[in-house]
Structure 1
């Protein structure tokens, strides 16, 4: 049995294979882009070692630079702290240059004077002279330095600071006792001299006290005491007046604030009441009338509150004026009395001085007669 196939059917696959092979071998119409060539740079072993060393050196340099910058920043902070501390210790009201110059001169002079003395004196006196002269020429700066030293001792050496505080307390008590003893001794000596002068004056009949001018000194001291008392009274009166004025002002402000708060509260209540009435029946005429009444009441309340506040302010101003006038009158009366007392004391001193002068002239005449 034989199968017959048309020639046309056998020719189709052969034609397809031929066309496909021709399409693969066919050149493109447009130019193709050149392929990109990538060159890989592979470093050598020497280059890798050099790069590693360079990175290590760069890192070490950066670390060193950071540490140096940190040290510089700390040093700048220390400089600023020292500068601020020195400025806080130095008192601006004192002449630092002149004080240090005088202190240096005193210390060097003491060192020159004590150079031929014994060794302990040569070591002890110059620092002592420095401390004494520094505290004399720069007292406020010395006090600031002493306070700072005490603060450092209390912070780092509390036991030593406590001992120093006890020593300072005992030395202060000793100084006060010495001052009291000196003052009492001077007073006793003055009393003894006064008694001797009174005895001589009673025996000889001469006015020795007036001749020495002791009455004048007494009158001057009394006058100064009177002036001090006058100044103290004046300060007390001014303080009293200031307290009174501040109290009146505070009360006035509180009263005004209270009145304003009451007015605002009444106004809010009336407005809310009017709004509620209006929302309940807005078409009725009595509501409108009620709202008008509420507005009138609110306005009246506000007016009364303002009037009350102005009245309170007026009363406060009146009280302030009265207090000022009262204080001024008291101060004037006190000053007048003090001046009168001072004038009386001055007259007494002048009279005593004239009497002492006359007594002195009489004594000279008596001496001339005896001679």
Structure 2
């Protein structure tokens, strides 16, 4: 009975095995490969290096922009100064000899007044500079004076203009008084000379007056020529 049961179970087991093996079929194509995903992992050193590099790049860019701005500003200032200088210097007045004379006169004033008193030593070179500039370069001096007045009206306070006008008035008054004193001294000197000459003529009989002396001096030579 036990043998029969064993025989009956054997074929059943073999049939099930054959059925399962026949149901599994191999695929024709290989199965697709799953995509590989890479995860970016940064360390602390990489973060520090990146931040330092970005800081250096930003600092370099800002410094380059600032340098370009300063260069552009200086170029603009240079062009403005050049145009202003060309407008102040007239074309018909060369600077080559006149400017040299002005410098020599200013240096001579500082050299000659080296051992003088303090006010003379300080005031003489500027006065010689202004005087020589007005004498050797009159048009340039006039343009510089106009430019100074323009700058004074725009930039300086009104007190400076008032002080300059007061100084000019005092200077003009002093110059006028000096001229009047010189003219009066000249008239007095000429009158004294005329009186002295008239007294010499009265005492000696010689005509040493203005036109008489010349005529008297010229007449003998003419008479001599006639006699010859």
Q: TM-score, normalised by structure 1?
A: 0.39
C-alpha deviation, 1:102, in angstroms = 0.7
Question: For residue 86 of structure 2, what is the aligned residue in structure 1?
Answer: 87
Q: Which has the larger radius of gyration?
A: 2
What do residues 290-327 of structure 1 show as CA deviations (whole Å, max 9, x unaligned)? xxxxxxxxxxxxxxxxxxxxxxxxxxxxxxxxxxxxxx
C-alpha deviation, 1:137, in angstroms = 0.9
C-alpha deviation, 1:51, in angstroms = 0.8
Matches within 5 A, 1:242-253: none
Question: For residue 162 of structure 1, what is the aligned residue in structure 2?
Answer: 162
Question: For residue 67 of structure 1, what is the aligned residue in structure 2?
Answer: 66
C-alpha deviation, 1:36, in angstroms = 4.5
Q: Tell me, yes or no, if structure 1 residue 365 matches structure 2 residue 218.
A: no
CA distance, structure 2, for counterparts of residue 87 and residue 134 of structure 1:
17
What do residues 131-182 of structure 1 show as CA deviations (whole Å, max 9, x unaligned)? 2112211111111222222222222222211332344356456656877898
C-alpha deviation, 1:82, in angstroms = 2.3
The structure-2 alpha-carbon separation of the partners of 1:92 and 1:26, relative to structure 1 and needing over 3 Å to count, comes to same
The structure-2 alpha-carbon separation of the partners of 1:122 and 1:141, relative to structure 1 and needing over 3 Å to count, comes to same
CA distance, structure 2, for counterparts of residue 95 and residue 144 of structure 1:
14
RMSD: 4.4
Question: For residue 8 of structure 2, what is the aligned residue in structure 1?
Answer: none
CA distance, structure 2, for counterparts of residue 362 and residue 147 of structure 1:
61
C-alpha deviation, 1:40, in angstroms = 3.1
Question: For residue 140 of structure 2, what is the aligned residue in structure 1?
Answer: 141
The structure-2 alpha-carbon separation of the partners of 1:28 and 1:176, relative to structure 1 and needing over 3 Å to count, comes to farther
Question: For residue 18 of structure 2, what is the aligned residue in structure 1?
Answer: none
**Secondary structure of the structure 1 residue equivalent to 2:40:** coil
Q: Which has the higher contact order (CA 8 A, sep 6+)?
A: 1
Q: Tell me, yes or no, if structure 1 residue 27 matches structure 2 residue 33.
A: no
C-alpha deviation, 1:363, in angstroms = 8.7
Question: For residue 100 of structure 1, what is the aligned residue in structure 2?
Answer: 99
What do residues 157-215 of structure 1 show as CA deviations (whole Å, max 9, x unaligned)? 2221133234435645665687789889999x8xxx9xxxxxxxxxxxxxx97x98xxx
**Secondary structure of the structure 2 residue equivalent to 1:115:** coil
Question: For residue 222 of structure 1, what is the aligned residue in structure 2?
Answer: none
CA distance, structure 1, for counterparts of residue 77 and residue 26 of structure 2:
86
Listed as ranges, the gaps of 5+ residues in structure 1 are: 1-21, 194-207, 213-355
The structure-2 alpha-carbon separation of the partners of 1:177 and 1:93, relative to structure 1 and needing over 3 Å to count, comes to farther
Question: For residue 46 of structure 1, what is the aligned residue in structure 2?
Answer: 45
Question: For residue 55 of structure 2, what is the aligned residue in structure 1?
Answer: 56
C-alpha deviation, 1:72, in angstroms = 2.4
The structure-2 alpha-carbon separation of the partners of 1:181 and 1:93, relative to structure 1 and needing over 3 Å to count, comes to farther
**Secondary structure of the structure 2 residue equivalent to 1:142:** helix
CA distance, structure 1, for counterparts of residue 146 and residue 139 of structure 2:
11
The structure-2 alpha-carbon separation of the partners of 1:32 and 1:169, relative to structure 1 and needing over 3 Å to count, comes to farther
The structure-2 alpha-carbon separation of the partners of 1:48 and 1:110, relative to structure 1 and needing over 3 Å to count, comes to closer
In terms of fraction of residues, the more helix-rich structure is 1
CA distance, structure 2, for counterparts of residue 120 and residue 364 of structure 1:
60
CA distance, structure 1, for counterparts of residue 104 and residue 70 of structure 2:
40
C-alpha deviation, 1:35, in angstroms = 5.2
CA distance, structure 2, for counterparts of residue 173 and residue 144 of structure 1:
24
The structure-2 alpha-carbon separation of the partners of 1:135 and 1:32, relative to structure 1 and needing over 3 Å to count, comes to farther
Matches within 5 A, 1:182-261: none
